[in-house]
Amino acid sequence: MDQFEGKTAVVTGAASGIGLAMARKFAAEGMNVVLADIEVEALDAAVAELRSSGTQALGVICDVAQRSEVQRLADQCIEQFGAVHVVCNNAGVASGGTLWEFTEQDWQWVLGVDLWAVIHGVSIFVPLLIEAGGGHIVNTASMAGLTSTPFMGPYNVAKHGVVTLSETLFHELAMLAPNVGVTVLCPGWVQTQINRSERNRPEAERTSESPSATESGIGAALDKLIAEGLEPSDVAQLVFDAVRDNKFYVLTHPEWSPMVQRNTETMLAGNNPRVFLPGSR
């Protein structure tokens, strides 16, 4: 995409972290921005901020795990701005523990927000991007979509799903609708509120039996890694560059790439999996 001014971007999970940074970046490029999120106060604040700097911003309260709500989001985008040109399926949540501890509700929550929401976003928005004559879709995965770090089972499953879904979409669009580009965003640690994901967990998917990140010590370790992570605005710049240059993979932490390479080499050599740490060679 080379023309952004006056076009419309939709970002899910836009009230915080990477989503908010992407919304700010698209706004700074002169786009209309539709911000979707489940956290009402934070969403209102984000919309007010963008409007105060002259952006045509629309906030939509939306639980992206629900297909009907993503459909309503798309309907509101079209009603307000007539067309959609950039779609960022970005909302996400994380939960820590062992695979045998997670409850069915944990799985439903994480797979709902991290995988089903992307499935809904692709099936509902891609036809609109084609109808608009072209555009770009950005799916936020993670380095967890390229590796299988312990204690993040549902998150790993969802993010691997987002990577393969995006690669498949890339091939299909290249064959059938080449005016629509795709990017899969695979960040390492970024300074956001992902370690406070429970704040937005719906009551129906809450259970007292879920593994406790605090008790297991995963929470404190995660807080430290996230505090030392990239700035969301740096990630947003990389995403914007990828949309402009039609680049598929955005791996924000090049120092993590040897991890992916060693995983693949281990598999191809027929050896058993090992845990490789970021930066290990």
Among 4, 155, 189, 276, the active-site one is: 155
Q: What φ, ψ does residue 18 adopt, rounded to 5°?
A: -65, -40
Closer residue to ligand NAD, CB minimum distance, 26 or 132: 26
Q: Which residue of 32, 156, 183, 192 would you call a contact of ligand NAD, by CB under 6 A?
A: 192
Residues 190, 230 contacting (CB under 8 angstroms): yes
Q: Distance of CA 198 to CAs 39, 95, 240, Å?
A: 12, 8, 29
Element (H, E) at 137: strand 135-140
Which burial class, exposed, middle or buried, applies to 267 when counting CB atoms under 10 A from its CB (0-12, 13-18, 19+)?
A: exposed
Query: 3-class DSSP state for residue 22?
Result: helix
Cα separation, 204 vs 207, in Å, equals 8
The single residue among 8, 32, 55, 140 that binds ligand NAD, judged by CB under 6 A, is 140
Q: Segment contacting ligand NAD (CB under 6 A): 37-45, 167-175, 207-215, 267-275?
A: 37-45
13: contact with ligand NAD by CB under 6 A: yes
**By CB under 6 A, what part of segment 234-263 binds ligand NAD?**
none
Phi, psi of 228 (to 5 degrees): -95, 5
Which backbone phi and psi does 119 adopt, to 5 degrees?
A: -60, -45
The binder of ligand NAD chosen from 60, 190, 213, 218 (CB under 6 A) = 190
- Distance linking the first and last C-alpha atoms of the chain: 36
- Please tell me whether residue 17 binds ligand NAD under the rule CB under 6 A: yes
Within the chain, what is the greatest distance between any pair of CA atoms? 57
User: What mask of x and - would describe binding to ligand NAD in positions 195 to 214, judged by CB under 6 A?
Assistant: --x--x--------------
Per CB under 6 A, 59 contacts ligand NAD:
no
Binding mask 91-130 for ligand NAD (x = CB under 6 A): xxx-------------------x-----------------
Q: Is the dihedral of CA 166, 168, 173, 178 positive or negative?
A: positive
CB nearer to ligand NAD: pick between 183 and 200? 200
Only segment of 33-41, 95-103, 168-176, 260-268 that touches ligand NAD (CB under 6 A)? 33-41
Rounded CA separation 204/208 (Å) = 12
Tokens representing residue 238 in the block: 């990389």
Q: In 90-131, which ranges are E strands?
A: none
Least separation in angstroms between CB 229 and ligand NAD: 5
For residue 137, state whether it binds ligand NAD (rule: CB under 6 A): no
The verdict on whether 155 is a catalytic residue reads: yes
Tell me: does residue 187 bind ligand NAD (CB under 6 A): yes
The residue (of 64 and 128) whose beta carbon lies closer to ligand NAD is 64
Number of other residues whose CB lies within 10 A of the CB of residue 73:
24
166 touches ligand NAD (CB under 6 A) = no
Residues engaged in binding ligand NAD (CB under 6 A): 12-13, 15-19, 37-39, 42, 62-65, 90-93, 113, 140, 142, 187, 189-190, 192-194, 197, 200, 226, 229
Which residues are known to be catalytic? 155
